[in-house]
């Protein structure tokens, strides 16, 4: 029996350390260790990887990641109340778990990790999208990580994998599909969490591509996509007017009709538009 198997149940951990969930920190905990192991398995073979986990809370997913054989887990948690519970797991994990207290939006985790790195997290919903966009948009590619396995609200997961032509299609789909292959690999009902959130959740696994699907400058692509979907009901010649005074010429270069709306435009066409804009 490894030290991890002797740890108390998560409900006992929560009771012992007084970890009543705080809404302000997006705390909805997973207490079923079978479920957290199943989520950890979606990340693939962890045995030769460092894993970055954001928001371990009482440590259910952390325990799943360690049980799946992660070489090392770096867990970044904002709530200091969780530290004693996480210290118990670290003691049982015999050097494989390092816990850092702080805000994941401010900590440079990449500097503390050794490749290959996989990121796995049941993200706090209030910072999840921002972290995802940061992980997807470094100026150079490939990034410091090989894959992301992340829990989102189901509706956000659907936006990530959306195709052109529907309401869900937008910035998240384009940024995700430009540099990774994202797949919804699990769906979870509200009752899987304590306390249950109002919405359903889903786990998305992103496999990074060695090179972006189509060439484009990351900053230019982000700017044009943000402007196009900020006013998604308008025709592109008007929603993108502020991006470049000669936007109609650039749209023509990219083979996009000026009367098209953002929702109809493929990733390939947005990348062509970003290239035309970048070349002036
Ligand atoms: N991973 C645990 C689980 O699956 O039961 C907890 C998930 S809970 C949805 C989100 C966790 O992220 C909470 O523990 C919360 O305190 C933490 N958190 C919230 N904002 C954070 C931030 N900016 N940086 C790091 N952790 C954060």
What's 24's domain CATH number? 3.40.50.150
For residues 113 and 189, state if they share a domain: yes
In the prediction, which pLDDT does 278 show?
Answer: 97
Six token digits for residue 73: 């887990």
In the prediction, which pLDDT does 182 show?
Answer: 98
Question: Angle between the 125-136 and 171-179 helix axes, to the nearest 10 degrees?
Answer: 40
Is any atom of ligand 1 closer than 6 Å to the C-beta of 221?
Answer: no
What are the Cα distances from residue 136, in Å, to 56, 145, 184? Answer: 21, 10, 17
Domain boundary among 208, 226, 259: 208
In the prediction, which pLDDT does 126 show?
Answer: 72
Cβ-based neighbour number of residue 226 at 10 Å: 14
Cα–ligand 1 centroid distance for 237 (angstroms): 41
In the prediction, which pLDDT does 125 show?
Answer: 74
Six token digits for residue 61: 């997913």
Residue 182 domain-assigned (yes or no): yes
Tell me what the pLDDT averaged over the chain comes to. 96
What are the Cα distances from residue 265, in Å, to 111, 224, 257? Answer: 37, 12, 10
Residue 77 domain-assigned (yes or no): yes
For residues 204 and 226, state if they share a domain: no
Residue 213 domain-assigned (yes or no): no
Count of structural domains within the chain:
2
Domain boundary among 178, 208, 238: 208
Cβ-based neighbour number of residue 257 at 10 Å: 13
Residue range(s) defining the domain that contains residue 272 = 218-279
pLDDT in tens, 61-82: 999 999 999 999 999 999 999 9
For residues 30 and 151, state if they share a domain: yes
For residues 28 and 74, state if they share a domain: yes
For residues 55 and 131, state if they share a domain: yes
Q: What is the pTM of this model?
A: 0.96
Is any atom of ligand 1 closer than 6 Å to the C-beta of 143?
Answer: no
For residues 200 and 261, state if they share a domain: no
Domain boundary among 183, 208, 233: 208
Is any atom of ligand 1 closer than 6 Å to the C-beta of 99?
Answer: no
For residues 93 and 202, state if they share a domain: yes
In the prediction, which pLDDT does 3 show?
Answer: 87
For residues 202 and 233, state if they share a domain: no
Q: 229-234: list long-range contacts, CB under 8 Å, 24+ apart.
A: 229/170, 229/171, 229/262, 232/170, 232/261, 232/262, 232/263, 233/261, 234/261
For residues 234 and 121, state if they share a domain: no
Cα–ligand 1 centroid distance for 150 (angstroms): 12
What stretches in the chain show pLDDT beneath 50? none
For residues 105 and 225, state if they share a domain: no
For residues 130 and 32, state if they share a domain: yes
In the prediction, which pLDDT does 1 show?
Answer: 54
Nearby residues of 274 by Cβ (< 8 Å), 6 or more positions away: 216, 217, 220, 221, 224
Cα–ligand 1 centroid distance for 123 (angstroms): 6
In the prediction, which pLDDT does 189 show?
Answer: 98
Is any atom of ligand 1 closer than 6 Å to the C-beta of 20?
Answer: no
For residues 172 and 240, state if they share a domain: no
Mutate to test the pocket of ligand 1, among 24, 25, 75 (most ligand atoms within 8 A of CB): 25
């Amino acid at each position: 029996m490894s030290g991890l198997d002797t740890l108390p149940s998560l409900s006992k951990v929560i009771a012992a350390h007084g970890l009543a969930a705080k809404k302000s920190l997006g705390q909805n905990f997973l207490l079923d260790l079978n479920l957290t192991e199943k989520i950890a398995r979606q990340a693939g073979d962890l045995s030769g990887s460092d894993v970055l986990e954001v928001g371990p809370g009482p440590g259910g997913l952390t325990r799943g990641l360690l049980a799946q054989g992660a070489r090392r887990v770096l867990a970044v948690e904002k709530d200091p109340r969780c530290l004693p519970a996480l210290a118990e797991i670290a003691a049982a994990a015999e050097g494989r778990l390092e816990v850092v207290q702080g805000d994941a939006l401010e900590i440079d985790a990449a500097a503390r990790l050794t490749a290959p790195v996989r990121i796995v997290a049941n993200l706090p919903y209030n910072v999840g999208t921002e972290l995802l966009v940061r992980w997807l948009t470094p100026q150079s590619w490939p990034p410091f990580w090989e894959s992301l396995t992340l829990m989102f609200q189901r509706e956000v997961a659907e936006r990530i994998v959306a195709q052109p032509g529907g309401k869900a299609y937008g910035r998240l789909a384009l940024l995700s599909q430009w540099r990774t292959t994202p797949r919804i690999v699990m769906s979870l009902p509200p009752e899987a969490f304590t306390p249950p959130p109002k919405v359903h959740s889903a786990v998305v696994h992103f496999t990074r591509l060695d090179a972006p699907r189509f060439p484009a400058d990351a900053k230019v692509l982000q700017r044009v996509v943000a402007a196009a979907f900020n006013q998604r009901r308008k025709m592109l010649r008007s929603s993108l007017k502020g991006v470049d005074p000669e936007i109609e010429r650039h749209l023509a270069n990219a083979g996009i009709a000026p009367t098209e709306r953002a929702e109809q435009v493929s990733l390939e066409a947005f990348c062509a538009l970003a290239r035309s804009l970048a070349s002036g």
